[in-house]
Structures are given as C-alpha cells and as structure tokens.
Chains A and B, each alone.
Chain A
Amino acid sequence: SQKIEQNSEALNIQEGKTATLTCNYTNYSPAYLQWYRQDPGRGPVFLLLIRENEKEKRKERLKVTFDTTLKQSLFHITASQPADSATYLCALDQGSSNTGKLIFGQGTTLQVKP
C-alpha cells in the first residue's frame, strides 16, 4: 500500500531564509500530490496541488516540485516569515485516480524565528 514519509523532525529556520520540506512516497506515482498547512487545533488548509506531468508549481512565495523518478516532492517557502510557522502536510490520493481518499504524511513542523 502507498505510504508517505515526511521529515518528522521540526525544521527551524531564520526569518527571510528559504524553508524546504520533503515528501517521499513509496509505491505508485500518484496523478497529483497536494500540500496542506495545519495550525495547532485547526483543520488542514489546502495550499497547492501539483500533477504528475508538472515539474514545478508556484503560488506567491510557495514552490512545489514533483519528481516521479525519485518519488519525491519538495515544498519551498521563500523569504519565510514567523507567520509561516505551522505544520505542513503532503497528501496524495490512495487510488490511481481521483477517488478523494487522501493519505497524508505525518507532517513537518516549521518554526520561523524572527
């Protein structure tokens, strides 16, 4: 079955630097991969989706890459701010198409220090 691994250790960076988070999956390459942000005590918030035929996707200070050969996605936040501190989750569909049954990684907690 498909499994997702994210860095379980918290990532601490200085304000203004670029944060890079990693998501690795183990089985078949999904049609797309999603990234969500989750703040303590809140539900996840959708950030970005990248499809298998896309190498890179950008949204404001966020950039996601998708390497189906490495079975890996990287999530970058440039010019990081303390407000970016949160847990970031990657997710993909458990089925081979859009079933909506998402499997999530355990999340990586990002702490941006002023």
Chain B
Amino acid sequence: DTGVSQDPRHKITKRGQNVTFRCDPISEHNRLYWYRQTLGQGPEFLTYFQNEAQLEKSRLLSDRFSAERPKGSFSTLEIQRTEQGDSAMYLCASSLDGGPEQYFGPGTRLTVT
C-alpha cells in the first residue's frame, strides 16, 4: 500500500461550478477525515467517517459541501456552486480506529476563478 491518495491534485474551476474530489485511504484504515487548509494556516477539520458512517460535520462545512464514503473505502467531497472563498487545499487523512495519528494524502488544490 502506497498511502493515502487524492485525485485530482489540482483543480481550477469557475465560480458557480460544481467540483468533486476523491480520496483513497490506506486500505485497512476505517477512519477517514477531510480538512481544508489555506495559505499560512494549519488544516481545519471539515468532517470524518468511521467506515461508511459520517460521524460529524464542522460548522465550516456549509450546505454546499457534501461528503460520502459509500462502501467504507474511498470518499468523495463535492462542493456545489463554488465561490472564490472555497479556494484552498483540501486534505484527506485516514487512521486506524483508536489510533490518534493520522496519515495525510497529498491534497487537492482548488482554485476558483
């Protein structure tokens, strides 16, 4: 296993368009997390899954954001009607249940023009 992967690595979109990102966690990890990171800041928690169940969503995650993990493996994060303020790096991480350390993917950099 080569670690957490994310696709695409970069996405440029026009304001108002919908975008979808994919995350493939480390195969035996049952927890999956999404974070958002802007320049000069640390990652901010968005949401997380235990297997296929979405356990919590941050207040940062507006109604335009939705995340799924349908079979408890890969996850998708969709942003509808993108805004310029959505421009950021979107990071995915995974961990083993009970293991506090998280393993991050390379991120998807979103630019909304």
Contacts and interface: CB of A to CB of B under 8 A. Distances in A.
Contacts, number: 60
B45 A103 contact: yes
A105 B106 CA distance: 19
Nearest to A42: B106
A81 interface: no
Nearest to B105: A43
Contact of B42 (A42, A101, A105): A105
B74 interface: no
Contact of A44 (B31, B100, B104): B104
B104 A45 contact: yes
> Interface residue tally of chain B, by bracket?
20 to 34
A13 interface: no
B35 to A, nearest CB: 8
A52 to B, nearest CB: 12
Contact of A98 (B98, B104, B106): B98
B43 A104 contact: yes
A41 B106 CA distance: 7
